[in-house]
């Protein structure tokens, strides 16, 4: 099956219309104006909004998933601590899902979602990890700024998606999305199409993912269609 058509864009496939928002980081062309406005708003308040992750194609998300499954990338528990890799395939799948989206169901496939930090608060040489401890530590003021803008409806369409009480993925304060654009991109999402993509992919834990896909969608995919 050929996955190059526009109908496969929500899954990180096809040929999305992307622009480089910051060096090495690409977003949907419809998002750039609003991102520029948010960046400028942050700058006025003394913050330097820096992107740590943006558009991510299916193959990259699949690589992250498979490397975690093989033990080449660390698995983190719900508190962000490194955990022992489960030997049972179903337990391993759920361990990966604590912090990582299913390939083909990551919001980073949409080109509307970015992970952000305050570059002005980063110590020289510090390697950002995107953890809850950073959100409440060195980037606390930045996240307070973002929260205030979101709550006031002054974030130019951006908001957080992975928040407490929504779905099974752990909250990610650093992950923000341009919701008006992402809603348009998600209109053509189909779980059956995702199933067909998985059937033809080299995905770790594929058997159990396919067997549990309906329930996984209810807990790890659809709650984040906001």
Taking residues 192-205, report their average pLDDT: 97
Domain ranges of the chain: 6-224
pLDDT more than 70, % of the chain = 100
pTM, whole model, 2 decimals?
A: 0.94
Q: What is the mean pLDDT of the chain?
A: 96
The pLDDT assigned to 181 comes to: 98
CATH class of 6-224: alpha beta
The pLDDT assigned to 5 comes to: 87
User: What band does 40 get if pLDDT is binned at 50, 70 and 90?
Assistant: very high
Position 103 pLDDT exceeds 60? yes
pLDDT digits (tens, 9 = 90+) for 140-186: 999 999 999 999 999 999 999 999 999 999 999 999 999 999 999 99
User: What band does 139 get if pLDDT is binned at 50, 70 and 90?
Assistant: very high
Q: How far is 25 from 38, CA to CA, in rounded Å?
A: 16
Taking residues 94-110, report their average pLDDT: 96
Point out the least confidently predicted range of 61-65, 74-78, 221-225. 74-78
Beta bridge partners of 135: none
Token look-up 């998002």 returns 31
The pLDDT assigned to 4 comes to: 82
The pLDDT assigned to 192 comes to: 97
Taking residues 111-121, report their average pLDDT: 98
Non-local (6+) Cβ contacts of 140 within 8 A are none
25-28 and 18-22: which strand pairing?
Answer: antiparallel
Q: Is 25 helix (H, G, I), strand (E, B) or coil?
A: strand
Strands laid side by side in the 113-118 sheet: 49-53, 113-118, 175-178, 158-160
Within 10 angstroms of residue 42's Cβ, the number of other Cβ atoms is: 21
pLDDT more than 90, % of the chain = 93
The pLDDT assigned to 147 comes to: 98
pLDDT digits (tens, 9 = 90+) for 68-88: 999 999 998 888 889 999 999
The H or E element spanning position 144 is helix 140-152
Position 1 pLDDT exceeds 60? no
């Amino acid at each position: 099956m050929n996955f190059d058509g526009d109908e496969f864009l929500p899954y990180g496939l096809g040929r999305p219309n992307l622009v480089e928002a910051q060096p090495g980081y690409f977003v949907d062309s419809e998002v750039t104006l609003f991102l520029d406005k948010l960046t400028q708003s942050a700058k006025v308040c003394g913050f330097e909004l820096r992107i740590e992750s943006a558009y991510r194609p299916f193959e990259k998300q699949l690589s992250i998933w498979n490397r975690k499954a093989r033990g080449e990338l660390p698995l983190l528990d719900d508190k962000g601590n490194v955990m022992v890799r489960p030997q049972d395939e179903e337990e391993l799948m759920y361990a990966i899902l604590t912090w990582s989206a299913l390939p083909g169901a990551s919001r980073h496939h949409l080109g509307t979602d970015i992970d952000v930090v305050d570059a002005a608060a980063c110590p020289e040489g510090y390697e950002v990890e995107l953890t809850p401890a950073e959100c409440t530590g060195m980037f606390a003021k930045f996240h307070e700024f973002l929260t205030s803008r979101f709550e006031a409806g002054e974030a130019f369409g951006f908001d957080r998606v992975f928040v407490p009480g929504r779905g099974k993925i752990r909250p990610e304060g650093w992950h923000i999305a341009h919701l008006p654009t992402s809603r348009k991109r998600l209109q053509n999402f189909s779980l059956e199409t995702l199933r067909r993509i998985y059937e033809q992919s080299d995905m770790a834990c594929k058997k159990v993912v396919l067997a549990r896909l309906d329930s996984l969608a209810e807990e790890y995919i659809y709650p984040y269609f906001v």
